[in-house]
């Protein structure tokens, strides 16, 4: 078995298994904790609209907060969008998803993917620089932050190298790329990358609780 076979075979299988195992473990471990009934008289009888509202509106900061957060948010948005374009727009990736889910959608031109990939890498490097230099972020950061950054940028970099056939043979580059995805999947449920799922739960929870009180969302 060569490296590519290992990557496409057992490595991916294990990564998928750990990914879904960890995801369901963590989500249930959180969601099944006790919930206290709230007997207070609600200001608004239905609270789910607040959940929806917060999930949507918190994607963009309030006017009052913009001046102080615009840089960090912009960089964050850039790399998130870049990742979405690269992950879901590149033809070989769509093939990958199709082989897993049977879903298919049209791909973006490769030039768009390459530019997005480059921008994403640049934005991620800025993100790391900010984490290292901004006193607040530096104080807050732990292994999870740096490792999650690493497992996020690695697939982009290895993917770009594979596409450009740079640095090694294509099958090695492709194998390393797939292995980096496997690493991402394995780490995903255990680190901060879970925010991609938790963001809806967390925002929704606050949105619903606050809507009940009429508190500011």
Partner 1 sequence: MNEPDTLGASLTRTGISRRSFLKFCTAMASLMALPPSAAYAMADALQRTQRQSVIWLSFQECTGCVESLTRSFDPTLEQMIFEMISLDYQHTLQAASGTAAESAREQAMKASYGKYLLIVDGSIPTKDGGVYSTVAGISNYDMLVETAKGAAAIVSVGTCSSYGGIPHANPNPTGAVAVTDIIKDKPVMNVPGCPPIPSVIAGVLAYFVTYGKLPELDHLNRPKVFFADTIHDRCYRRPFYDQGKFAKTFDDEGARNGWCLYELGCKGPTTYNACATIKWNGGVSFPIESGHGCLGCSEPNFWDKGSFYQPLPTPLADNAPVIAAATLGGIAVGTVAAVVSRKHQADIGTKEGK
Partner 2 sequence: MSTADIDSKHPLELDQPRFSVKNPEQRYDKQGDMPDAQRVETAMRHFVKDFGAVAATYMESCIHCGMCAEACHFYVATEDPKYTPIWKLEPFKQAYKREAGPFAAIYRALNLKKKVTVEQLEEWQELIYDSCTMCGRCTLICPMGIDIASLVGLARHGMNKAGLVPHELWAVAERAEREGSPLGATPKVFKDRCEWLADDNEVEIFVDKPQADVIAAMSSIEIMKYPDSIVATAKILNHLGLNWTFRTDGYEATNFGMLSGNSEWQKEMSLKLINATIAAGAKLLILPECGHAYGAMRWQGANVYGKPLPFRVLHISEFLAENTKSGALKTKPLGKTLTFHDPCQVSRRGGAVEAPRDVLDGLGAELIEMQDTKGVNWCCGGGGGVVTIHRADPLRYKAFQIKMKQVDDTGAELLVSSCSNCRQTFDDGQDHFHWDKTMLSLLELVADNLEDK
Residues found near partner 1 in the complex (CB under 8 A): 1-2, 4-5, 8-10, 12-13, 16-34, 90-93, 95-96, 99-100, 107-111, 113, 165, 169-171, 174, 178
Size of the site for partner 2 (CB under 8 A): 61
Give the span between the Cα atoms of 25 and 179, in whole angstroms: 23
Cα 193 off chain centre by: 5
Shortest distance in whole angstroms from residue 132 CB to partner 2: 12
- Among partner 1, partner 2, none, residue 174 binds (CB under 5-8 Å by kind): partner 1
**Which one of partner 2, partner 1, none interacts with residue 54, CB within 5 to 8 A by kind?**
partner 2
Q: How far apart are CA 177 and CA 158, in angstroms?
A: 5
Q: b/e per residue, 24-47, with b = 16+ CB within 10 A?
A: eebeeeeeeeeeeeeeeeeeeeeb
Instruction: Give dist(CA 139, CA 142) in Å, integer.
Output: 8
Minimum CB separation from partner 1 for residue 48, in Å? 23
Contact 49, 211 (CB under 8 A): yes
In whole angstroms, the minimum distance from the beta carbon of 193 to partner 1 comes to 16
Rounded Cα gap, residues 45 and 23, in angstroms: 33
Question: Does 125 interact with partner 2 (rule: CB under 8 A)?
Answer: no
Distance in Å, CB of 150 to partner 1, minimum: 22
Which of partner 2, partner 1, none sits in contact with 69, Cβ below 5 to 8 A by type?
A: partner 2
Q: What is the rounded distance in angstroms from the CA atom of residue 119 to the CA atom of residue 111? A: 12
Cβ-proximal residues to 55 (8 Å cutoff; 6+ apart), any chain: 199, 200, 203, 204, 207
Contact residues: partner 2, CB under 8 A: 25-26, 28-41, 43, 54-55, 58-59, 61-62, 64-65, 68-69, 72-73, 76, 134-142, 144-145, 190, 192, 194-195, 198-199, 201-207, 209-210, 213-217
């Amino acid at each position: 078995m060569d490296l590519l076979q290992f990557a496409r075979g057992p490595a991916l299988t294990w990564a998928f298994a750990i990914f879904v195992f960890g995801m369901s473990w963590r989500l249930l471990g959180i969601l099944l904790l006790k919930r206290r009934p709230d007997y207070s008289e609600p200001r608004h009888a239905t609270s789910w609209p607040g959940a929806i509202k917060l999930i949507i509106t918190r994607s963009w900061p309030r006017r009052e907060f913009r001046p102080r957060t615009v840089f960090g948010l912009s960089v964050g948005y850039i790399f998130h969008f870049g990742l979405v374009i690269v992950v879901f727009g590149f033809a070989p990736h769509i093939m990958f998803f199709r082989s897993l889910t049977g879903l298919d959608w049209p791909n973006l031109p490769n030039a768009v993917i390459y530019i997005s990939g480059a921008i994403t890498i640049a934005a991620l490097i800025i993100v790391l620089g900010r984490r290292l230099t901004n006193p607040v972020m530096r104080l807050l950061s732990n292994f999870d932050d740096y490792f999650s950054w690493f497992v996020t940028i690695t697939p982009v970099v290895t993917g770009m190298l594979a596409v450009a056939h740079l640095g090694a043979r294509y099958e090695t580059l492709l194998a390393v790329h797939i292995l980096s995805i496997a690493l991402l999947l394995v780490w995903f449920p255990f680190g901060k990358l879970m925010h991609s799922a938790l963001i809806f739960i967390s925002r929704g929870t606050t949105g619903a609780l606050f809507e009940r009180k009429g508190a500011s969302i």
